[in-house]
Amino acid sequence: MRFLFIIQGEGRGHLTQALTLEEHLLSQGHEVVEVLVGKSKNRELPDFFRKRIHAPVSRFESPNFLPTPANRRSRIAPSIFYNLARFPYYASSIRFINNRIKALRPDRVVNFYELLTGLTYMVCRPDVPCICIGHQYLFLHRRFRFPKVNPVSLAMLKLFTRMTAIGSSRMLALSFRRMPDDRSHRIYVVPPLLRTEAMRQSVSSGNYIHGYMVNSGFSSQVASWHKKRPEVPMEFFWDRKGESTVKKVDETLSFHTLDDKLFLQRMAGCMAYASTAGFESICEAMYMGKPILMVPAHIEQECNAFDAVQSGAGITSSSFCLDRLLDFSKTFRPDPQFVFWANSSDILLSRLVSEPAEESVVAHDWQWQLHLSWPRFKF
């Protein structure tokens, strides 16, 4: 079968998931004809992705969230107005995506949580089946448990997630643990997409803390804690645009730009892991049996972190105060069941290549897919 990937370009997770899925598909004789990746002025496509992806890569303008001035959390309201002002660019991207689908004629479009894919299926109605992949589709699962968050923000998150899936035949929800499928909503729960490199690392327990921050503004918190505990070595990774490959603060603190091979090596040898609660790196740390501190940067990551805690992955915090992580690591015990679950990738592949059959939803039936239970307010 021939597949076209469309990827949201924010963060590391969707990109590594696409690399993993391409690897699995190629090994079974399938073909990825092209990879379309959303871009914005705040993010660069990491070198590790360009070097490792086999299919040709094309870029298109895509919506993104604006960080706070300190570049830590995302600002929802300003992001909405910013992206509305850029709608003419996104309309051009929708035409581009539709034209690529027409020109390439893949058997399947695989959407890694890109909003414009859903809008393309709403407006242009391509006749190629689309399958959505991402942990975010668990947020639409009837049994998913949410933390206590702002109800309006949660409703907006669910709405955004539904919009990415407009016209899709099914949603493959990547999960920390086994859950029943939610066939009434076309949601199928599948294991995380971990790359072979992550699963084959030689794991040890070193003397340093490993970390990753999707918003580089958190680096000031890391540096502040480091001043109090300079004897604890730390190797952190960030996506600060225009930064040198390695920013060495001193002998025990370094910030690295994203190099996925080095990132996994550092994770395999660390004593503990701290992150802004992105799904993919949390799964990698769980697979390697590392204690984890999660510092959510936006509501999606708050939901990720809450779900990860329920799965025994680690603890959450509002800041990179790493004393809690060191204390937690003393009593942490990894869950071997996660390794068995993560090794069950055949479940995902069977859902991907099988025919949509009766659960398929036609592309123009988008009103149903936008159905959302907004919070009810009493006046």
List 248's β-bridge partners, or say none: 254
The alpha carbons of the chain give a radius of gyration, in whole angstroms, of 20
What's domain 2-191+344-369's architecture?
A: 3-Layer(aba) Sandwich (3.40)
Q: Do the domains at 2-191+344-369 and 199-340 have one common CATH topology?
A: yes
The pLDDT of residue 46 is 82
Domain residue spans of the chain: 2-191+344-369, 199-340
What average pLDDT values come out for the chain (379 residues) when binned by 10 residues? 92 86 93 93 78 95 65 56 73 96 97 95 95 96 93 89 94 95 93 91 95 79 93 89 82 89 94 91 95 91 93 92 94 93 86 62 44 39
Instruction: Say which CATH topology domain 199-340 has.
Output: Rossmann fold (3.40.50)
The pair phi, psi for residue 131, each rounded to 5°, is: -120, 130
Contact at 8 Å (CB) between 311 and 257?
no
Pull the structure tokens for residue 182: 């939610």
The pLDDT of residue 40 is 72
The pLDDT of residue 361 is 43
